[in-house]
Amino acid sequence: MTCKGVALMTDKVRQVLAERQGGAGSAAREVVAALQLAPPRIGMTPRPGPDSVALVGYNVWLWVDGPDAQTFGPATATASIDAWTVTVTGYVEWVDWDTGDGNVVRCWGPGTPYVVARDGLGASPDCGHVYSRQGEMTVTATARWRVDWVTSDGAQSGTFTTDQVATVPVTVGEWQVRLKRDEPR
């Protein structure tokens, strides 16, 4: 076995030991509760609600509304559990937006909030979708959190992921224009 192979094997053994019941990794997963991670608050145009309709063929903007430490990160907590003092830091790596019509849009940041005076009918610069059919949809935002942890002595560390999910119902309609029969074309 090469030196690189031994180093990889040693890293794997450390990870397994850290993650076992009662290990530092197990303690780190418990500390994550102190971060109070929350589902992302869904921001989108049009704003979801009973009197709101997205239109087929028009840009829908998607963003995390008011991102903060609990909904987007970074969030940090330190706690002692069993024999371990562990510091965890979590942040959202990406948000997957299931638009309810069979499409998923992956956005690598919180997205850009829509401002009507600035953005008009334009497309989002970083996170958007265009519906191609009408219907009742459910938009699901799944925030993938990366959590890095380290023991107070720095001897053990690791990374794991966890997801936070939010949903909103959205009505998608179609704009139709009808001419009266006696109007010239």
Q: C-alpha angle with apex 106: 105 to 108, nearest 5 degrees?
A: 140
- Summary mean pLDDT of the chain: 85
pLDDT single digits (tens) 67-99: 999 999 999 999 888 888 999 999 999 999 999
Any idea which residue has 């992302």 for tokens?
A: 40
CA angle (38 as vertex; 125, 131 as ends), nearest 5: 35
pLDDT tens digits, 11-65: 443 444 445 456 888 888 888 888 899 999 999 998 887 788 999 999 999 999 9
Distance CA 47, CA 99 (A): 14
